[in-house]
Amino acid sequence: MTEKILNGIVSKYECEAKKNQSIAPYTSFRIGGCVDFMLFPQSTEALAGACCELKEKGIRFMVMGNGSNLLFPDHGYRGVVVVTTELKNITVNGNIITAECGASLTKLAGSALENSLTGFEFAYGIPGSVGGAVYMNAGAYVSEVSEVLKSCTCFDTNTCEILTLDNADCDFSYRNSIFEKSGNRYVILDAVFELSKGDKDVIRAQMNEFMSKRREKQPLEYPSAGSAFKRAPGYFTAKLIDDAGLKGFCIGGAQVSTKHAGFIINAGGATADDVTSLMKHIQKTVKEKFGVDIEGEIRIVE
């Protein structure tokens, strides 16, 4: 019955579908088991329509973009994963950029550069999508999405309504927003960013500097989900982990990066259990040595 409903959604809306797929290749961690069904909407209208029907029919589902901040379980996901990577249109009108939820942050930063717009340089090189970035208020180098977001359009799965939320409505805080706080209630469709006119050469130089820092300091050569932990107030979390003697520490195929202690990498054959066990060990050790609680930043799918 469930498969019949899903086939109906595919035929009704503009979606591609895959059945019984490993989720690992679709995530930056390269970890995770089999997913029952994957949907790839080809338009934001199809994304909203598909999510509405899945909700109404009581079918378990979640929405993801590039999978750059997610850890799926080894047993996979029983339900439907809706993937937004085909929704990548970006339009520029003066100093306003509108991007669909699946657009990559790096391409969005490139569009800003081409139009001599400043304010989005910090996102250059972040491997996530617009939807995920708004969801978690992503940031880097003391800047974050909330500083440049003007508004966003989202789909409310409780009411099956499309809403436009202004920046203030998003309830942004450090690595948090109304979207994260509400779980899977809201599906971000697109986002509008308000930037400022700038000098293209200066913008390009800033972007290149940020990318150079990432390559120098982050373990980009290994699969990971980015920073594993949020910044602890008053501390540099990576330094706490390093000072705890955990740099290079492994559980199974999961390892605290020797390049940047704030990253947990898939050093080869890591499982989700390896990663979660390592995260718990890090938190326990830091708490015992320094009395500081550190909170995970990776979104762990159950």
- The CA distance from 122 to 126, in Å, is 8
CA distance 17 to 40: 6
175 assigned to active site: yes
Closest by CA position to 135, among listed 195, 68, 79, 76: 68
Residue 16 contacts by C-beta under 8 Å, 6 or more apart in sequence?
10, 39, 40, 42, 86
Q: Pick the catalytic residue: 175, 204, 214, 299?
A: 175
Amino acid type, 296: G
Residue 265 CB neighbours (<10 A): 26
Could you give the CA distance from residue 299 to residue 158 in angstroms, rounded to a whole number? 22
Question: Which residues, other chains included, contact 1 with Cβ-Cβ below 8 Å and sequence gap of 6+?
Answer: none
Residue 227 designated active-site: yes
Rounded CA-CA distance 133/127 in Å is 10
Q: How far is 270 from 8, CA to CA, in rounded Å?
A: 37
Contact, 117 vs 196, CB < 8 A? yes
The secondary structure of 32-89, three-state, reads CCEEEEEEEECCHHHHHHHHHHHHHCCCCEEEECCCCCEECCCCCEEEEEEECCCCCC
Of 53, 121, 144, 297, which residue is the catalytic one? 297
User: 3-state class of 207 per DSSP?
Assistant: helix
Cα 239 from Cα 244, distance rounded (Å): 8
Active-site option among 104, 146, 227, 257? 227
Q: Which residues are catalytic?
A: 175, 227, 297
